[in-house]
Every structure is written in structure tokens, then in C-alpha cells.
Amino acid sequence: MENVDLASVAAVLADPSRAAMCLALLDGRAWTVGELARVAGIAPSSASEQVARLRAARFVETLRQGRHQYVRIGDPAVADLVERLTQHAEGRPARGLRASLRANRLAFARHCYDHVAGRLGVALRDGMLHNGLIDIGNGLSVTPSGRAVLADLGVPIPDRPRRPLLRDCLDWTERREHLAGALPAALMRHALDVGWLQRGEGRALRTTDAATEPFSRLGVTLADLTTADTHPTYLRAV
């Protein structure tokens, strides 16, 4: 077996500022170094050093556009690692009303890098399965009916993606699977583009009135999903 330097990998996230940056980058967007500095609460010069460390460890990639240098997670496997470490670190209740509300919103719907997680993400998997849009008989796959519905909703189905079209991802608030892979990533991008979903604080997502009909076609009745703002059950902080 190839020797893997686990300690070196763990050390990348041992620094609180680097950990904060990685958590911010889980929203799937590219951030400037200055924005990451503010999130981590450090000076821009220090942020540049920490980004360089993350890049050297292949946790992030950087690109330049004009005067700005942007940072993003380029590998979904890295996002999965950070998400699972976040899950492992969860163990204390949120303290205070603001923290509880924030935790509830994350539990309702959030980015899991480039796909939807939380109660909404789990409901999408359940609904698509119940409506015959996906099948688990021989591994996760999109059915012909699913392809037709997604096409009618304007969701592009990736052709020959570099990663699995569909796979299960254990949700750390629901303790059940939501959908990950190239297709759920395309679905979330489309939902944000057309306004079914909007970005909230941090990684939180919120649904809009425009989402009611398309989500119902995906097997999700949004009215049945108690909103995070009014359901103080999930009191876990990120």
C-alpha cells in the first residue's frame, strides 16, 4: 500500500484561518484573497500566505482576472473531505439565537460544494426516487422519465462528465443521503440561475415562490418542508 502522509494533510486544516477559508469556499464560488482574509479575520498579507499553503497542498486552485486573484476548490473530492471533517467536528449545540437561526438555515438547505444538501437535498433524492425520475436498482441512474422532466425544466444533463453523474452523499445534519455528482451540480446551478434558489448567509440556500412548481415536478412539496426560520430543531453550528 502506498504510504500516505496523513499528518501532513491534516496539518493543512489545523490552522483556524485555513479551515475558515475552506469552509467559505464550500459554497462553490471563487473568492478573492481579500474576501477570504475578512472571513478568516486575518490581514491580506497573511491570507496570501495561507492560500499559498492551501494551493501547495492541492486544496485550492487560483486564477487571475484583471487585478484580482481568485481562489476556489477545484476538486470535488477536496470539498467532500472538508464537508466530512465538518460533520466529524459537529458535536456541540449552537449557542444563542443568532447561531441557532444560522444553524437551522444550514440544516434546511445549503451548498454541499456544488449541490444541494440539508432537508431540501434529502427531499430531492426521496422525491425523484418516488416519482421514478431516478433509479437505484442497479446503482444510481437517471430514468428516461427523469431525463424528460429535467429537460423540460431546462436542467442540462451533462454528457460524459469527468465524475459520476449521480452518487449518494451522506448529509451531516439529516444523517441520510442526498444526491451529489455532475447532475445535482447542474441542477443547483440552474436553480440559482433561474431564481428557484437564492444564496443566503454563508452556505445557506433559500427557496423562492418560483421554486414551487418545478420542485413539485421533482417530487418535492416545499410547503411540507418546514422552513429553517420557524423550526428550531436543528441546533448545530458550522
pLDDT at 94: 39
Q: How many domains does the chain have?
A: 2
pLDDT at 227: 46
Q: What is the 8-class DSSP label of residue 14? A: T
Shared-domain flag, residues 66 and 103: no
pLDDT tens per residue across span 67-114 = 778 898 878 778 878 877 776 665 444 344 344 445 566 778 888 878
Shared-domain flag, residues 191 and 118: yes
Shared-domain flag, residues 63 and 98: no
pLDDT at 89: 61
Shared-domain flag, residues 65 and 130: no
pLDDT at 68: 77
Of 74, 109, 124, which one is at a domain's C-terminal end? 74
- The domain spanning residue 47 has which CATH number? 1.10.10.10
Q: Quick check: is 81 in a domain? A: no
Total-model pTM:
0.67
149 CB-near residues (< 8 Å, 6+ apart): 131, 133, 217, 218
Q: Quick check: is 155 in a domain? A: yes
pLDDT at 230: 38
pLDDT tens per residue across span 204-222 = 899 999 999 999 999 999 9
pLDDT at 231: 38
Of 15, 45, 74, which one is at a domain's C-terminal end? 74
Shared-domain flag, residues 60 and 17: yes
pLDDT at 103: 53
Shared-domain flag, residues 207 and 114: yes
SS3 of 73, please? coil
pLDDT at 187: 97
pLDDT at 105: 60
Which region holds residue 69: left if phi is over 0, alpha if psi is between -120 and 50, else beta?
beta
Q: Quick check: is 232 in a domain? A: no
Q: Quick check: is 207 in a domain? A: yes
pLDDT at 113: 79
Shared-domain flag, residues 117 and 163: yes
Shared-domain flag, residues 32 and 133: no
**Residue 167 phi/psi, 5° resolution?**
-155, 160
Q: Quick check: is 83 in a domain? A: no
Shared-domain flag, residues 49 and 131: no
Q: Quick check: is 229 in a domain? A: no
Q: How far is the C-alpha of 153 from the C-alpha of 37, rounded, in Å?
A: 39
Q: Quick check: is 233 in a domain? A: no
Shared-domain flag, residues 98 and 69: no
Spans in the chain with pLDDT lower than 70: 1-4, 87-105, 226-238
Question: Which structural domain, as residue segments, surrounds residue 149?
Answer: 94-224
Q: How far is the C-alpha of 205 from the C-alpha of 223, rounded, in Å?
A: 16
Shared-domain flag, residues 120 and 176: yes
Q: Quick check: is 184 in a domain? A: yes
Shared-domain flag, residues 22 and 69: yes
pLDDT at 237: 28
